[in-house]
Structure 1
Amino acid sequence: MTPFKTGWEKFLMLTLEKTAFWVVEFLGVVLGLTLVFGGLWLLFLGGSPFYLLAGIAIIAISFGLFKRAAYALYTALGLLAVSVLWALWEVGFDFWQLVPRLLAFIIIALIVTALARRLFQKDGRPAFPRVVANSLGVVLLGSLVAFIVGMFFPHPTVVAESSGPAPVIQPQAGQDSGNDWPAWGRSTAGNRFAQFDQINKSNVKNLKVAWTYRTGDLAIDGSEYQVTPIKIDNTMYLCTPLNKVIALDAVTGKELWRFDPKLRITDSNRGWKRCRGVGYADTSTLPPEALQPATDQTGADQAVTQDASPPSGACRKRIVSNTNDARLFEVDAETGKPCEDFGDHGFVNLLDGLTDAPENGSYYLTSAPLVADGVIMVGGKINDNISVGEPSGVVRGFDVRTGKLLWAWDASRGAKDSTPLPPGEHYAPQTPNFWGTAAYDPKLGLAYFPTGNQTPDFWNGDRFPYSDEYTDAIVAVEIKTGKEHWHFRTANNDQFDYDVTSQPILYDLPGKDGTTTPVIIQLTKRGEVFVLDRRDGKPVIPVEYRKVPTDGMPGMRISPTQPFSAISIGTTPFKESDMWGGTILDQLYCRIQFKQMRWKGEFTPLSDKQRTLIYPSYYGGSNWGGGAIDASTGTLIVNDIRMAQWGRFIKQDEAKRIGLKPSAEGEYSEQIGTPWGVERSMFVSPLGVPCFKPPFGTMTAIDLATGKTKWQVPMGSIQDAPVHGIVPGVRIPLGMPTMGGPLVTKGGLTFFHGTLDYYVRALDNDTGTELWRARLPVGGQGAPMSYIGKDGKQYVVVVVGGATRTGTNANRGDYVMAYTLP
């Protein structure tokens, strides 16, 4: 080897080494200064001093590297040691909270250790002997690898104490529905429980796609597939976001018929088209008194129908559905042709009896109707936060054969009167509405539905006393008359759009003395799980009324107490150490933002002076998808959302001046007719990730007999969730916000596909462990369902049209997919 070549190599190595030092020194100074200035800001706000001290230490490390001084290495190792102690003191061994607190300091220590052979003490000795430095490097590299590997495994929030099966306490549970799935929640009890065990823990890994059907209605331009199909005999029925009803062969997936009600596009439903399910009625099983004479429906829409009067014997079995332009309709379950004896040629106009406000389409229906004992029970959705004067939240019951209006319950009359108003009169505007699906107890003859609040959601100073009485309530009425038996408020006063939206779950709760109590289980956006005696509405699981902040804006109606159940999910109050972020820097950012917000716990009122943290958020907790219960063991299964938000009041003129665009669902709501608009948004870091600790969505199992959480696991990964338009593409099971609901089977399985990544999963009911996962073409939002086909095989079906609220037409679909064992 020539001296020239050897010299050149030495020069090149020295140059690379110097460059490496310069880069590390520069990045260190930048990181250190950022932490120092951010740390000073946080300290000024009363926050943790750690970031300031860490920033000073990193600057010292950078200067030590510049001087090639050994103290750079000692400081880096000291900083890592202190960060470990600090992190364990703040968050214990919570894996995801340790990541941003330790990862940066592990990397810094690793880099400085790699440069250790060029760092010297004052007497010229190296910082560490080579063997020690190399060993230390291996340990640090191993720690880094361990953190990275740990990201690819789920980290349960609550680990199951036992993997053994829960004892069966109701062996006959679920058998009342036979091999079918006859209602949106499988039965009118809304338990989403199927007693089938052909697919079970031991063989679920063998599930394969049996058939795939595409509806032809892509979930684009504001459409979302949130439907759970029903199955009667050997036919499956579902609806598309455009309210088309489709019948499929349950074994082959072959289309049998479809009916198009010709949805009228309005200003409101143009960007909000959903159909979550349909109902079913067999009128041949109804007693004579249930069959009322047909009456004209004044003002009913003249819908385009397929034929004139149906032949004799038609419409014995009926599919009942509603539309986003406020019509209720029925078609023959065997042919798909309109039931001409229902309403006006198959249609009832649900705008009758409402004020003129809904002419712009602000009243519409999205959820499956309840069909029970010859009655169709429906509520309606109104636009939130746009204006006062929205239409009534009236809940109505119609005769299932004729479409005659049997009763009408609205908050302005409450328990006093549920008789329909005479033609030409209007139900009181902007009363709390019900936009989900009701539940029904045939033994008691009572139907149960949850309500929201009087719109607008965030300013409540102008609400009627009767609206406050029924805000976010559970109401029990007679299915035949609509007469109210009781109601229970899940919030004494609502300032945050905490509509109670999920279908109530009915269950007979065994007692220690051998008796059973008929209960209603109501999930809420607040994450509170209320368990009441469904005979009288009295709490069975204790409810405590706690003091909440009341320092709201002048004119606001704020209750000093709010109800809290002894069972809740994801409701632990925030503190500064709960702030998260993908890196140490955006964690610091989130802590600063948190300290600058108003937050005195749940129900902290909004202000016009500073942003107020809203947690739980108005998306949930539990949203419309609801939960499920293993009715054979008494185990409640619930998916939840954990997203914090912020809001502040702003004058409408000021919002217009700074360019905020008003909408019902966006980041600014005008609330016309009130003193204030409201600006709101998700609480996220500059990287676009939530500013609070994971998981952001979980699946939880609760033993209702004890109220104890059996297990809680994160649901979903970041794989398909874009952040600033970038899709990670790696399956890191952080636990993401969920939508839709679970399906529980006697095979010991919970099925779910409402995650932000494109998978359907099966979990072990006893531990929450994922036993099976299958890739979907796009994301899903509804709830799975299951049945036994005429071939004797158990099927699990999901409908997928895209993950929730992506805001684009990309990655959208129209798939109905059935799985079975080979």
Structure 2
Amino acid sequence: MRNTRRNAALLAAVFLNALFGIVLIVGGIWLIAVGGSWYYALAGVALLATAALLFQRKASALWLYAALVLATLAWALWEVGLDWWPLAARGDILFLLGLFLLTPWVTRPLLRQVRTTSEAREQDARAARRAGLPLMASLLLFLIVAIASWFVDPHRIEGTLPGVRNQAAANSLGVPPGEWHAYGRTSHGQRYSPLKQITPDNVSRLEVAWHYETGDVRGREGDPVETTFEVTPLKIGERLYLCTPHQSVIALDATSGKEIWRYDPQIRGELALQHLTCRGLSYYDAAKTGMATDVAVGGSQEGSGNENAGRDGGRSETGDRAAGSAPLADRRAGAATSLQDLNLPVAAEDGTTTDRCAAKLFMPTADGRIIALNPDDGAVCANFGGGTGQINLWANMPNARPGGYYSTSPVVVTRSLIIVGGTVLDNVSTHEPAGVIRAYDVNSGELVWNWDPGNPESTEPLGPGETYTPSTPNSWSISSVDEALGMVYVPMGNQPPDQWGGERTEAADSYASAVVALDLATGRVRWRFQTVHHDLWDYDVPSQPSLIDLTIDGRNVPALVQPTKQGELFVLDRRNGEPVLPVVEKPYPQGAVQGDRTAPTQPVSALSFDPAPLTEASMWGGTLFDQLACRIEFRKLRYDGRYTPPSTEGTLVYPGNFGVFNWGGIAVDPERQVAFATPTHLAFVSQLIPREDDTTLYVQGDERPQDSLPALNENFGAPFAVKLSAFTSALGLPCQAPPWGYVAGADLTTGEVAWMHKNGTVRDSSPIPLPFKMGVPNLGGPIMTAGGVAFLSSTLDYYLRAYDVATGEELWKARLPAGGQATPITYTGSDGRQYVVVAAGGHGSLGTKAGDDVIAYVLPS
């Protein structure tokens, strides 16, 4: 029996070495053929030779294997140094196989003699141990190096952010300290709270105060893949206001979490949706702005009482021509963009209404409307939108297809205007709605001005029968506003399709992937700053600009901080768009496909989280084998660094269009004059697929969308469709080595990154739920507080975390029931305590767990 076990073990060792050797030889030769490392082929030869020696029962097999382990260790240290996860991927299989070779069932048969006495067996055991000493020593050395790497983090930056430098710098803009009135708390988009009750010393005592479930979870018929719960609630008075993925509006008691009212906008079904989400509501209170509110139904307001009307959105005399202000019957008799022709609901006809709204909540809907609600009871404001209680965003819109355009993000609210952008379908066709930015009277819903990137000089409202320019760059993210300077700052996207720009107009191309400052009174361009020239990578500007006053060389500079997908933090003077921190134009790879072009240079900020370029040594995997496959794929793809143009053979895009930063943006502290950032580093692959006609589905194939859902990435009307995917191995792991996600602190006055730490675990994104802290991507935003604590919930593992703003140290975390891909808020409850609230509902395309949870945390009484 003992001999049988030994023979079986020896045969298994022979088989494994031979199998692994053949795989590495075949893959290694392939890698050499595409210009890659010789290590894998040579390692395969060594394993095959080890198998042969084992089969001949020669102890020299262990010596050869020991040499392979030492060579692998030297090669791994040369490529990646003391970096644990890359080291593990290079040595895990060899280490485990080496341990197996050291077992007595493998080593004893190598002595050739078969003896039965106990003394003889003990002699055989000693001889076997001597034969395995070199291998044992090599494995021990590998283990020592691995353990040493546990105490080294080459990706970590240690430091401390400065303390308060200007205590008077925080500008509440009329928002009480204990409230949260806009997506970024105020219209400046700082995501900063002046509350100080929660501190680094007591944050670990936070506990659940209440837990509310909305009842709205993705998975309904007609839901697109990217159905998400991304809401940042508002806290006004003693209430919270939030919206759900399927567009319900809910009011809660902020202290108890009890539901007060709920409104269902009855959005139209069968929508051409790419995304189904609501990132938040917008709030307006006439009593706090000095505005009159007695507006007749269907009429315009007289005597606004706005001292800055000439600067901030005075109404145009032609505003009554817009669909937002015409009587309901006239609009329904209009062009194909009327409510009736599009079969859109009318809010004022479908529920409780009120003729007077001293304050308003504005809710953007997935079928292309903006509904005005009374915060007191959720009633529709009938004194808005010509008696409809809503704005029809399809008015004057070309290529109307409900779902193909709507505001996924909350609108901007000023003393007299609401300013609205919207998302269009990415990479579906060249015949999409316009990316127009429109300003409406906040009380009547009349159109005041419209800025069309395809016709930027004319901002007077369009008349009946006129349409905006189709398929222009759109603004799907959140804008910010400085009413003192009279400007709204709009982050712009691209003209579709994203990866091919051969037919973009000069006007549209000049405003794509840019921050555009528009005059509040007229809608005309005051200045623009383009973050990418002729963008072919879907590097649209994804985040809300953060407005903050900075002390630079002893001067107070009103600044704008703009995060980008490619990792820049552009710090600009918001008066004129001039850089505050240096920006240089750098040359980047050329060689676009025929019919297109690339810009010779691209702007780079002095404050940048652009990751280091990828190399073959950057490739990773769970094992030696999928790492080899990733290396082969890396060598096959076109990659010349950042801004490598899209290609028909396939291009590696790094950072990918997921973004170093996305819609969650950053948080800025106006007193410290610092930023809390959450960089993500993920590579993507894009491949242009030549189109021969405008009907064939080249990308979707058998995965054809159902019902009204659009055929994404087909680019009907363009010469190319596009295949897009994350750069992952056959096991679904990123092909690039971790970390993939960080938290970071930066000084906005100097551009210095004071600290940066990997953040998050793979507990909820790996087949085995082990809490390895590898640094995972996040999608959502952070907040900061005057108490010196930052909060973040948006990593791929399901936690709300608290950090020390000064050092980035993780201070506390709480387990969430679902993915927390949203931005938290903090406020003061009626009991005087500081609360932290987050929505946990998951994200469809990220695959995080779905939920309908809104959870509040508070310090014990």
After TM superposition, the score normalised by the length of structure 1 is 0.91
Task: Give per-residue Cα distances to partners, 1:729-776, cap 9 Å, x unaligned.
Answer: 221122222111111122222211112222111122233222111111
Matched position secondary structure for 2:585: strand
Q: Distance in 2 between matches of 1:523 and 1:689?
A: 27
Structure 2 counterpart of 1:458, from 499, 503, 506: 499
Q: In the alignment, does 2:257 pair up with 1:247?
A: no
Q: How far does the alpha carbon of each residue in 1:93-132 deviate from its partner, in whole angstroms, 9 at most, with x for none?
A: 2222111112223223333333485276899999978489
- The structure 2 residue matched to 1:231, chosen from 203, 214, 235, is 235
Q: Work out the CA distance in 1 between the residues paired with 2:764 and 2:815.
A: 11
Give, in angstroms, the shift of residue 441 of structure 1.
Answer: 1.5
Say whether residues 1:281 and 2:284 are aligned partners. yes
Deviations 1:340-380 (A, max 9, x none): 1111331110100111x123431112101111222111101
- Alignment of 1:533 with 2:576, yes or no, is no
The answer to which of 291-300 and 251-260 deviates more is 291-300
- Change over 3 Å in CA distance of 1:689–1:43 after alignment to 2: same
The 5 Å alignment of 1:64-83 reads 64-83=53-72
Contact 1:83/1:101, CA 8 A, preserved across alignment: yes
Q: Which amino acid counterpart does residue 405 of structure 2 have in structure 1? A: Y
1:665, distance to aligned residue in structure 2 (A):
10
- Identify if the C-alpha distance between structure 1 residues 229 and 305 changes in structure 2 by more than 3 Å, giving closer, same or farther: farther
Deviations 1:781-801 (A, max 9, x none): 110110011211000000111
* Aligned counterparts of 1:550 and 1:192: Cα–Cα separation in 2: 38
Counterpart position of 1:695: 739
Out of 324, 330, 350, the position equivalent to 2:366 is: 324
1:433 matched residue in structure 2: 474
Alpha-carbon distance in structure 1 between the residues aligned to 2:818 and 2:24: 41
What is the RMSD of the two structures over their aligned residues, measured on CA atoms? 2.8
Could you tell me which amino acid in structure 1 is paired with residue 74 of structure 2?
Answer: L
What residue number does 2:190 align with?
A: 191
Deviation at 1:636, TM superposition (A): 1.1
2:750 corresponds to 1:706: yes
Secondary structure of the residue that 2:807 maps to in structure 1? coil
- 2:348–2:388 Cα contact (<8 Å) kept: no
Moved more, 111-120 or 166-175: 111-120
Which residue, 790, 793, 806 being the options, matches 1:753? 793
Q: Secondary structure at the match of 2:428?
A: coil
User: Matched residues in 2 for 1:787 and 1:306: separation?
Assistant: 34
SS at match of 2:29: helix
Name the residue aligned to 1:818.
Answer: 856
Give the count of matched residue pairs.
795
Alignment of structure 1 residues 569-718 onto 2, 5 Å:
569-608=609-648, 610-653=649-692, 656=697, 659=701, 661=703, 669-718=713-762
1:493 is aligned to 2:534? yes
Contact 1:667 / 1:681 at 8 angstroms: preserved in 2?
A: no
| Pairwise CA distance, 1:142 | 9.2
Relative distance call for 1:336 and 1:138 in structure 2 (3 A) is: farther
State the match for 2:418 in structure 1.
376
Match of 1:402 in 2: 444
Alignment of 1:34-53 (within 5 A): 34-53=23-42
User: 5 Å matches for 1:298-337?
Assistant: 298=331, 299-300=338-339, 302-305=346-349, 310=354, 314-337=356-379
- The residue that corresponds to 1:5 in the other structure is none
1:713 Cα shift? 2.2
- TM-fit CA distance, 1:803: 3.8
Q: Which runs of 5+ in 2 are unaligned?
A: 114-122, 292-303, 307-313, 332-337
Letter in 1 for 2:166: Q
Q: 1:713 to 1:744 in 2, by over 3 A?
A: same
- The 2-side partners of 1:20 and 1:174 are apart by 71
Are positions 1:118 and 2:158 aligned together? no
- Any gaps of 5 or more consecutive residues in structure 1? 1-11
Residue 51 of structure 1: CA displacement? 1.1
Q: Distance in 2 between matches of 1:631 and 1:799?
A: 26
Determine the structure 1 residue equivalent to 2:119.
none
Q: Does 1:179 align with 2:172?
A: no
Shift in alpha-carbon separation, 1:552–1:307, aligned structure 2, 3 A: closer
* CA distance in 2: counterparts of 1:155 and 1:774, whole angstroms: 25
Aligned match for 2:827, one of 787, 804, 817: 787
Q: 1:447 to 1:156 in 2, by over 3 A?
A: farther
CA distance, structure 2, for counterparts of residue 206 and residue 149 of structure 1: 34
SS of the residue corresponding to residue 406 of structure 1 reads strand
Match of 1:8 in 2: none
Cα distance in 2, alignment partners of residues 195 and 802 from structure 1? 29
Shift of 1:804: 4.3
**Which residue of 2 is the match for residue 471 of structure 1?**
512
> Contact between 2:70 and 2:138, CA under 8 Å: does it hold in 1?
no
Identity of aligned residues (%): 39
1:443 matched to 2:441: no
The letter for the 1-side match of 2:789 is L
Aligned counterparts of 1:157 and 1:402: Cα–Cα separation in 2: 54
When residues 127 and 82 of structure 1 are mapped into structure 2, their CA distance, relative to the original with a 3 A threshold, is farther
Query: Counterpart of 1:526 in structure 2: which amino acid?
Result: Q
Q: Which residue does the alignment assign to 1:159?
A: 157
Match of 1:733 in 2: 773
Secondary structure class of the residue paired with 1:89: helix
- Is residue 50–residue 64 contact of structure 2 (8 Å, CA) maintained in 1? yes
For residue 389 of structure 2, what is the aligned residue in structure 1? 346
**8 A contact 1:247–1:257 mirrored in 2:** yes
1:392 aligns with 2:382: no
User: Relative to structure 1, is the Cα distance of residues 665 and 684 closer, same or farther in structure 2, using a 3 angstrom cutoff?
Assistant: farther
Q: CA offsets, 1:575-634, max 9 Å, x none?
A: 1111111111111111111111111122222222x1111221111121111111122222
Supply the distance in 1 between the matched residues of 2:74 and 2:770 (Cα, whole angstroms).
31
* Residues 62, 132 of structure 2: 8 Å contact kept: no
d(CA) in 1 for partners of 2:253, 2:444: 28
User: Paired residue for 2:326?
Assistant: 296
What amino acid is aligned across from residue 161 of structure 1 in structure 2? Answer: G
Say whether 1:265 aligns with 2:269.
yes
Deviates more, 1:564-573 or 1:753-762: 564-573
Whole-Å separation in 2 of the counterparts to 1:361 and 1:779: 25
User: CA shift at 1:145, angstroms?
Assistant: 9.6
With normalisation by structure 2, the TM-score equals: 0.87
Distance, in Å, in 2 between the alignment partners of 1:755 and 1:148 is 27
Structure 1 residues 489 and 806 mapped into 2: Cα distance closer, same or farther (>3 Å)? Answer: closer
State the distance in 1 between where 2:124 and 2:550 align: 75
> In structure 2, the residue corresponding to 1:18 is in which secondary structure?
helix
CA contact (8 A) 1:667 1:680 kept: no
Q: Which amino acid aligns with 2:412?
A: L
Give CA deviations for 1:408-458 in whole Å, capped at 9, x if unaligned: 1111232x2322112221111111111111111132121101111111112
| CA distance in structure 2 between the partners assigned to 1:705 and 1:510 by the alignment | 7
Residues 665/491 of structure 1: CA separation in 2 closer, same or farther (3 Å cut): farther
- How far residue 171 of structure 1 moved from its aligned partner, in angstroms, is 1.9
> Using the alignment, how far apart are the partners of 1:146 and 1:204 within structure 2?
37
User: How far apart are the structure 2 equivalents of 1:491 and 1:776?
Assistant: 37
Separation in structure 2 between the aligned mates of residue 145 and residue 796 of structure 1, nearest angstrom: 44
Question: Residue 297 of structure 2 corresponds to which residue in structure 1?
Answer: none
Q: Which moved more, 1:153-162 or 1:682-691?
A: 153-162
The answer to whether the 8 Å contact 1:781/1:803 transfers is yes
- Pick closer, same or farther for the CA change 1:117–1:811 going to 2, 3 Å: closer
**Maintained 8 Å contact 2:689/2:698:** no
